[in-house]
Chains A and B, each alone.
Chain A
């Protein structure tokens, strides 16, 4: 039993104080100490004893008393003890300051400590322990450099001052100079081999930090040898074991941790590590207990943060997000700097995300990213938050970064792909495919949603095979595989039942075929069915839709698709039945209701359609743009509906339609259909330029998107061209449209095409287009009527031509016969059925054709005569030409002969002369030489002269000859020219007469026939007049023969409208698949 003896003053007696039984009140001791004037070292001893027993107050009391001025005075000589007391106080406050969290008090403690140290310095400047103390203080304050210099001073005073050495080692360690620190520790060990185990601990830590785990381990082990209860060493060893990640070592590590725990249950580090372990083993209860203990054990903020984190994590994994969030926050609050310990921020972010607090979650993840800018998980979380907040661009950037950092992160690729869906389908598909191949490589389970999305994207790009592969992969095995191959078990082809197939399914189930449709696969099956539908494999599509409905009758979209397919096959009653079935499942399904409205419109059930559409409007607060659009169309149809036209009503309907279209455009500025509708209304009002602009823009937009099929806008644009008289352009536009969208099967467009030709007076083209149309739609007698008109027009036009061949006339006569035949046949029919023509009108045409035919006979005769004459003329001309040729030849011959003769004569003459000359020469030879010369000259000159003369003569002859020829030609011209001119004149007169007759006939037969070109509007106005004036029978269509064609002009915008309704219907459904896919995806991520 340790005792302290206080010597009693002036005696040899001593007061024995048992250290274990120190009086509770330090004042008692102090009294004794003071009274006996005990040596100062005893004061210290007592203070230390109180300290050891945790009685801080008493400790302080003694030391403060011991450092009071009186004592200083009294013990003035006792330097060392006084210094020790002050140093002890300084060290105490240093420690307090180190532990204290609140900055103000911390500063105060440090100030006090400084105060004591300064006091010491007054007593003795050279005392090393003071310097050491100061060093410690500065170390605690974090002023490493200054503290280092303090320790240095201490060492200068005393080379082997161990505390100073240790202090320096500590500074170096904190500075990260592990090698230097290690050296210092080594020095200490050399100086003082028996030093406490903690020095070896320091060595171990340095070694550890220097990356020498083996030596570190040796050091720790040595520490434990020396001090088997050294918790730090145990924990350090434990951590090292745990970090090896080897199962055995981890186990070993855990035992060490447990040992540490048993030795000192309040070592927070060990507790935290233990908790960490139990967290992974899932023993959340133990985690909580350990952490409770840890909180008691430590005030160290970082340790506490760890403990809170462990607790929070435990709650987090249990799904108790509220409490997890509380603890995470507590953990975060313990930390001054996220750099110290980042995990709780991440955890907090996650929990807040789960709790829907996006903003704070975001700030926490951003803190994580500040510390670890390349942390993929946080990047993804941040990206997800951006996505949720609708900041798509930022979200995209974040995910891009995440995939760049970790190109193997499947989730990031998937998220990125989804983000790209709205902007860049190609890139989205790439992202999905990357994710897909990563998963495949990793042999990880493939999420159905991903495959579905890949499939949908391929689908939208028209890559049907790839799409099918993706969908099939997503679906795996099941009955759908039979459907895909088209063969039921046992290689039986799929049966063809169009209506209800439940029977068939029951039968299959009875045969043991599993028809289960897991909820997660409905969407994929639906999409696969859509794919088959797109590829026109409707049998497979139908059976898949029906399979879905067999198991999930509430899947309205499948009902609607089936209805749409029935509608496409013109099976309206079945279609209606299916829609009604869908509505039975879901009364307020806007899609189904829209579809019903559309069907009713098709069935000419105007009022019902309007009611249905209005119903959707009121349900959706007018936000449903499809029904708004459809109502716009409704009004438009109502405005242009044929028979009973009221200009006032027409105007109101048009105005209403315009309003509705514009409303849609306000809601959705990109709605092509509404823009198109607006263009139509404007065109209807005659504002061709504006409507043309609109149509052109819509057309551009529609051609840029392969999923949009919008022939209407092409047709409308062509209509505008027709309206503006640009028939060539219109024809091109119609033809392109027919080819591009209708496989050349749409008779209405053919009719428009024919009309453009008609307007351009291209009768033959018009007729041929109409014949094609008749071939496509033989039951449309109107087409025959139009064709007859075209033929009649052709004939009239040909006969009116001032110049035409007999062949042309003959052709026009045969056309006329065809027309007549068609007209008379139509008149026969129209008495039997109502085909929408007026019998009288046809009769009139029949009569007209007959007249024309009679007239044409004259024409034909004339033409034939003319032809005959022409032939004769030609013959004559030919003969004349031949005669002339012969004559010319003869003449030439003659001339040649003459010339020859002349030449011969001349030659003869020359010869004669020569002979003569020879003869003379003979005589001259006899005469004198000079004479000969002269004669010779003369002779030569004479010959020359003669030659010249001859030349001249020839020239003149030539001239004469050419003159002769010229005049001959002239003559010929005269001969041919005159009769011809006469003939032409005759002919012209005749032609003019005929033309007059024809024109007269035209006017006679049909005043408002409007056969001749007239602008469209006046014609329409006149017709209205007719209706208004005379309340005759239905004048609507059969009004005039030409009206049959202009009538198209009216129907023109009507028919395409019909179409466009369908299209927009389809459009909604297509997007619905995409939406579907997206929805699916979101639900996936939710389930994650």
Chain B
């Protein structure tokens, strides 16, 4: 043993010079890498970031389940609209989050809110399956659309505003309402066969349709279901084009890119956000990082970032170039049910805003730049 030690030492002595050289080389490598990273960070840092502006505690009496921006109209700036389990819909002025108005009229919790692109009217859905369409200015009810239980879930207005798409819950369909007659224009079934195909199994919730999203050009409509199915429709032909594979758990939120009509983002209970090419049905990226269900996703107006809200109580910002999470906000203390970027437009509104709403009864506003 003594001998072994001795010879070892001798070996070390000889190898010393060589190793030192290697060490130096590695050092140099590391340095260059650091530099590169620093440069990257610099670039990124200049590009996107969110910063908390204000968190309004107890914005509602109960969990806030839905939030969206009502676009600016008639000299009125964009308003933040929130819906809550306390059965009310509230409108807020940015940046102070002052209450503009509180609408009642729903029984049971408000699960979804949607705003017309013109910013004049809006819709809200509650657990009692009523869709209430109202005038933003006057809060006059324009239409009350009743559906069967839980046959109304998330909604979205057509980018041009002619149609309102309502996720049809247990009916396994998406209903398209004409925004002038308030008659159902079309019913798009999430099935390639007929109704009898659809079975709601207890375990997965089957094809219970949770959410809908219009593509930028309004030609495509995507909807998502409890079992993770995502269906893409050709709206003009009223035809189901294809399904997107990859999720096997509820997809509660989905949104098309505002810059590329093909690209769709989906948020699922499987803790992932998927990025799909809707035309050739490929999964471009699966972004992970949330510790629990991803409840909500929205794309920034410039299309370079997405924000997600999760039941892990965080809001995350993702860079779409690297497809990596670059920021995590911890302003909420319970599930974050909604994240929403303020649409561009309106007077003097050049800065980006992101809002989030949470089960903890609060809403938060962030600066996005």
Contact = CB atoms under 8 A, between A and B. Distances in A.
Interface string B324-342: 1000000000110000000
A744 B63 CA distance: 12
Contacts of B343: none
A771 interface: yes
B199 A538 contact: no
Interface residues of A, number: 56
Interface stretch (A629-637, A829-837, A909-917): A829-837
A570 B270 CA distance: 8
A538 B323 contact: no
19 contacts: A346-B1, A495-B285, A496-B284, A498-B246, A743-B292, A768-B85, A771-B127, A775-B65, A775-B111, A778-B111, A778-B150, A778-B170, A781-B149, A784-B149, A817-B107, A825-B149, A829-B149, A833-B199, A835-B200
B285 A744 contact: no
Interface in B1-23: 1-4, 6-7, 19-20, 23
A185 B13 CA distance: 45
B205 A539 contact: no
A879 interface: no
B272 interface: yes
A377 interface: yes
A108 B56 CA distance: 107
B289 interface: yes
B283 A537 contact: no
A661 B148 CA distance: 47
A577 to B, nearest CB: 14
Interface of B: 1-4, 6-7, 19-20, 23, 62-63, 65, 85, 107-109, 111, 127-129, 148-150, 153, 169-170, 199-200, 202, 204-206, 208, 210, 226, 228, 246-249, 269-272, 274-275, 283-293, 311-313, 321-324, 334-335, 359
Nearest to B36: A491
B169 A778 contact: yes
Nearest to A739: B334
A569 B271 CA distance: 8
Contacts of B108: 771, 818
Given A539-B287, A778-B226, 11 more contacts: A280-B7, A493-B322, A496-B274, A569-B247, A569-B249, A570-B249, A745-B269, A771-B85, A779-B200, A828-B149, A829-B149
B171 to A, nearest CB: 9
Nearest to A791: B108
In order of increasing CB-CB distance, the 4 nearest A-B pairs are A779-B205, A779-B208, A825-B149, A570-B248
A238 interface: no
A744 B3 contact: no
A745 B283 contact: no
B62 to A, nearest CB: 7
B352 to A, nearest CB: 23
B85 A772 contact: yes
A1002 B170 CA distance: 32
Nearest to B274: A496
B148 A496 contact: no
A516 B323 CA distance: 26
A829 B170 contact: yes
Contacts of B20: 443
A133 interface: no
Given A493-B323, A569-B249, A745 B285 contact: no
Contacts of B128: 818, 821-822
Given A537-B289, A538-B288, A779-B169, A814 B228 contact: no
B322 A487 contact: yes
A834 to B, nearest CB: 8
A774 interface: yes
A706 interface: no
A810 to B, nearest CB: 13
B148 A814 contact: no
Contacts of B148: 825, 828-829
B311 A313 contact: no
A851 B101 CA distance: 38
Contact of B3 (A313, A493, A571, A818): A313
Contact of A536 (B19, B246, B291): B291
B175 to A, nearest CB: 16
B311 A486 contact: no
Interface string A464-501: 00000000000000000000001100010111111000
A679 interface: no
A536 B4 contact: no
Nearest to A541: B288
A347 B1 contact: yes
A282 to B, nearest CB: 8
A768 B206 contact: no
A487 B40 CA distance: 12
A397 interface: no
Contact of B335 (A347, A536, A745): A745
B248 A571 contact: yes
Given A771-B85, A772-B63, A835-B200, A743 B170 contact: no
A777 interface: yes
Interface in A490-544: 491, 493-498, 535-539
B23 A443 contact: yes
